[in-house]
Structure 1
Amino acid sequence: MRIARAVRSDAGKEEGRTLFERIGAFLVDQRLEPTPTNYAFVHRLFTDPDDTLARAVELITDRGVRLTPRDIQTLTADEHSDEPVVSDVDLKARTEGLVARTQMQVEGFADMVTAMRAETADFGRDLAASAEAMSTGSDAPQANDDFLRITAAMLQRIRVAEQKLETTTREANDLREKLEEARDNARRDPLTQLPNRRAFEEAFAAQEAAGGSMCIAVCDIDHFKSVNDRFGHAVGDRVLRVIADALSQCCRGHLVTRYGGEEFAILFTDVPPDKAQAVLEHARGTVQAKRYKLRDNDAPLGEITFSAGLTPVEPGEMHQTAFHRADRLLYLAKHEGRNQVKIGSASYSDFRR
């Protein structure tokens, strides 16, 4: 549905009842519930068809695509969102909304430049004709009046264009900030706020290109499934955040990531393996020494520990190879009793799956 054109065609004669009926028809057409939120959203589209929101909806609904509640949430979430934890689905939806708004912003800039170019060309032709009439002396007073009229009209157009450009520039800066935030969110785990697997792989590639030395550690919470089974996933999530904070504090200066599930990966850069092992042992001891309680009734949660595998990365080695070796060392630590750090190099092969 081409909202902007539909509203412009009868703008000025739209009355309250007609507006109400058209909003209702739009909600029915888009199969949206007639909730206050949806009504207010569509009311804004119909009463301000030149707004960026209306243009974004045009992009989404073009070619018969229906608007969804998720789209409405996405397009308005950036105005009043303060949720501390955002799901991957929400992040994807918000990113898609930002892409739609960015496309609309680019098209708006292109339209503005095209209009200004056309107006400037018309002004140049009119001004040239007026100057020629003044130079030849033919009907000079009229030519002078035309010159003043043309110049005044062009100045007014420039002022309007400057106002539009100022507004559009502010919107573009706002979008730029939100796109930077979206890029950061794409590399961050929403639960622990740690960098995620993608961030780990990108950091590995950057460090490899720079030529620095690296060690990889893979950490896994011991008996984590039993925590979820006994106390529920909400408690499990809190445990994950606690471990994430402890690793971040103890391994400050190195990249700590949530690689997936209850597994964390740490990229140590420009430190020898024995120093990386000492840092990791300190983190393990810190986690083990804490006494965890349930938030609801202060009942003891029991001891929380993690196991880890640590390996240096050989020059030119792919991150998957080194990671797999660290993961096998983690498996060995689990097999030999948990709550320990196992270290080994590429030549270390005294263990099997």
Structure 2
Amino acid sequence: MEKNDGNIVMFPKWKSRLESAGLQALKEKRYEEALEALQPLLDYGVASNDVVTGILMSWIELGNFDEAEELCQKQMKENMDQYYHYLHIYITILFQSNRYQDIVDLLDEVFEEEEIPHQTRTQLWQMYEVSRKLLEDYHKEKGKELHSDFLEALEKDDVRKQWVLLEQLKKQRAQSYIDTFTAVLQNKTTHPIIKTAIIEWFRDSRVDQSLSIQKFGQQMEVNPLDLNPLQSDYILKQIQMRLSGIEQSNPTMYDMLNKFLSHYCYVRYPIYPDEQEVPAIVEALKQLGHEYLQLPYHSDEENEQVQTYKEEIELCEQHYLLIVGESS
């Protein structure tokens, strides 16, 4: 080594010796020795593309995917002349890690945004097709497993596990499971929150058919494709608007009431309150907010309907927190 303006610089002969030894070790599949020789070249900023590639290949072979991914991403940003070379290696890292979804998402973006040389595009397309097929196979097998586990949890009346499994099943296309889950929606003993999760899944999967749903003693026919997401519903927004004064005077109470309202409507979904119910629900929420925060509150609406909504909102909140959890 020699010093140059205060910076430590590697002697050319040492650089050449390390590069030669490292690449020879790589050729002979002695990956740890290859890294020992090549890593200093990277550390001193004198690594050629062959050296960087050698380091990446060694890390991949040794299963050090995190280090390989970080270096590869850095090279893709900083070494644009070799972008597609490092893109191939990056895809190899993702492939070795079974991250097929990441490959598909990445290549979707690459195909859409970049001018790609014909030969490179052909190679990337082949990688894309293989990854997409493996991803489909993985989802199919994973879906079968989740479906079986859900039915077992249903039989054991393990509502929390049903919820967890449904959250994973939402990554699948609901169309493959319509028959099973339509029966669940009609079952009077299925928890309302589980029915909500199923309806959301069907809606987000764009299931376009009339479904029969039994919920809170009501029998209804619903096409999931016609349903709005919960937070965009007109009645929900109307109630929030009537609570907006509290948002200004007591933001803590408003946040709490907004959670109560959201959770209450989630449990009921797709049954929304009608406009006639809105004043009583607003009053019930206000009373609950003041009671929970132990603040004085005078109300002229101490009627049975308001009390009923208070009890319903509290019950829905308890069930929501037990099944879905605090952070959702």
Higher relative contact order (CA 8 A, sep 6+): 1
**Higher-strand-fraction structure:** 1
**Higher-helix-fraction structure:** 2
Structure number with greater Rg is 1
